[in-house]
Amino acid sequence: MTLPLPNLDDRTYANLVEEAISQIPVEYPEWTDHNPTDTGIILIELLAWLTEMTLYRVNKIRDDNYASFISLLKGEQWDLPNVAAQERQKKLQSEIQKTLLELRHRYRAVTIEDYEKLVLEDWNQLSNSTHLKIARIKCLPERNLSQLDAATFAKGHISLVVVPENNHQVNLEENKYKALFDFLDQRKLLTTRLHIVEPLYVYVSIEVELVLKDGAQAEEVKKKAQTEVTMFFDPLESGKYWQGKGWVFGRGIYLSELYKILDDLEGVDYVEKLQIKDKENQSKSEIYLADNQLVDFDIEESKFTILVQVGNERKSI
The whole-number pLDDT of residue 128 equals: 60
Indicate if 122 and 91 belong to the same structural domain.
no
88, burial (CB in 10 Å: exposed 0-12, middle 13-18, buried 19+): middle
Count structural domains, the chain.
3
Encode pLDDT of 17-46 as tens digits: 999 999 999 999 999 999 999 999 999 999
Confidence of residue 172 (pLDDT cuts 50, 70, 90): low
Indicate if 309 and 212 belong to the same structural domain.
yes
The whole-number pLDDT of residue 155 equals: 93
Indicate if 212 and 185 belong to the same structural domain.
no
**Residue 259 is assigned to a structural domain of this protein:** yes
**Residue 2 is assigned to a structural domain of this protein:** no
Indicate if 280 and 192 belong to the same structural domain.
no
Indicate if 127 and 22 belong to the same structural domain.
no
Indicate if 167 and 253 belong to the same structural domain.
no
The whole-number pLDDT of residue 207 equals: 94
Indicate if 234 and 164 belong to the same structural domain.
no
CATH number, residue 172 = 3.30.300
**Residue 251 is assigned to a structural domain of this protein:** yes
Q: Whole-structure pTM over 0.75, yes or no?
A: no
Indicate if 205 and 190 belong to the same structural domain.
no
**Residue 143 is assigned to a structural domain of this protein:** yes
Confidence of residue 182 (pLDDT cuts 50, 70, 90): very high
**Residue 275 is assigned to a structural domain of this protein:** yes
State the chain's mean pLDDT as an integer.
89
Give the separation between CA 134 and CA 253, rounded to whole angstroms: 25
Mean pLDDT value of segment 40-59: 91
Mean pLDDT value of segment 267-282: 90
The whole-number pLDDT of residue 259 equals: 93
**Residue 5 is assigned to a structural domain of this protein:** no
Indicate if 244 and 298 belong to the same structural domain.
yes
Domain boundary among 71, 104, 137: 104
Does residue 312 register a pLDDT over 80?
Answer: no
**Residue 3 is assigned to a structural domain of this protein:** no
Give, to the nearest 10 degrees, the angle between helix 218-233 and helix 255-263: 140
Domain boundary among 197, 224, 257: 197
Question: Any idea what DSSP says for residue 119?
Answer: I
Q: 86 lies in which domain range?
A: 13-104
Does residue 253 register a pLDDT over 90?
Answer: yes
Indicate if 310 and 210 belong to the same structural domain.
yes
Does residue 189 register a pLDDT over 90?
Answer: yes
**Residue 8 is assigned to a structural domain of this protein:** no
Indicate if 31 and 61 belong to the same structural domain.
yes
Encode pLDDT of 119-143 as tens digits: 998 898 875 655 788 999 999 999 9
Indicate if 223 and 311 belong to the same structural domain.
yes
The whole-number pLDDT of residue 171 equals: 62
Encode pLDDT of 213-249 as tens digits: 888 888 999 999 999 999 999 999 999 999 999 999 9
Domain boundary among 52, 86, 104: 104
Q: Which amino acid is at 147?
A: Q
Confidence of residue 168 (pLDDT cuts 50, 70, 90): low
